[in-house]
Amino acid sequence: MSAFKKHKRSGRCVATFSAFEADLIRSLAGQLIELLHSEEAIPRPDAAPGSIEELEAMLESEFSGPTKPPEDPVLARLFPTAYRNVDDAEAAADFRRYTENSLRQGKAANAACLIDVLEDAGLPDEPEEGLFIDVELDPATASAWLRALTDLRLAIGVRLEVEEDDEEFWEELEDDDPRGPMHEIYLWLGWVQETLISAVMK
């Protein structure tokens, strides 16, 4: 992959991914979307578009969210408890009820943006070796990508139990340890994010 750079004329952030890299991001984003829709936190109404039933379902989804922290550790990190004090448990439950569903929808939309941009840029269902994908992001899309990359790295970091200043642990990891390749992906996503931040700031 080439680092993100800002195009002088359009002002867009541009980069080129290999088909393998683009497909990897698409796969990770798809897994994140599935996780965000788990635990029945985001209702998927079967009502006809524009019907009263659909409106009622949307309102119920918006204002009747979960009141307890998610069981999955990744989701628990993505949606932390607003108030840590035991005395504020009721306030924390209310806050979660009114905010978590919309937050999940926003994160899912950001992850979907990764997929949409890559597929619109020419990523096929079955990528071929030697294929490269040119990506151009306007400011709004770049912002969505940054948020989605943050969520992807957090998810992987939680699964791997990555901790601050644990570089020595990962450097000494056995070559056949299955965590090694995923940690490399975690680091690579961080590099992608850093180059995008640098391009956005220019």
Q: Give me Rg for the CA atoms of the chain.
A: 19
Expressed as residue numbers, the domain containing 147 is 5-201
pLDDT tens for each residue of 3-48: 999 988 888 999 999 999 999 999 999 999 999 988 644 444 454 5
Domain total of the chain: 1
Q: Which residue has the tokens 């680092």?
A: 3
pLDDT of residue 202: 84
Residues 175-200 have a mean pLDDT of 95
C-alpha triplet 128, 131, 136: angle, nearest 5°: 130
Pairing of strands 5-6, 13-18: antiparallel
Q: How confident is the model at residue 54, as a pLDDT?
A: 55
User: Buried b vs exposed e over 134-160: b needs ≥16 C-beta within 10 Å?
Assistant: ebebeeebbebbbbbbbbbbbbbbbeb
**pLDDT tens, 114-149?**
999 999 999 999 988 899 999 999 999 999 999 999
Whole-angstrom Cα distance, residue 58 to residue 105?
Answer: 12
Q: How many C-beta atoms surround the C-beta of residue 32 within 10 A?
A: 24
Per-residue pLDDT of 61-100, as tens digits, reads: 555 565 576 788 998 898 877 666 656 767 767 777 777 7
Q: Model pTM?
A: 0.81
Per-residue model confidence (pLDDT) at position 63: 53
How far apart are alpha carbons 12 and 134 in whole angstroms? 12
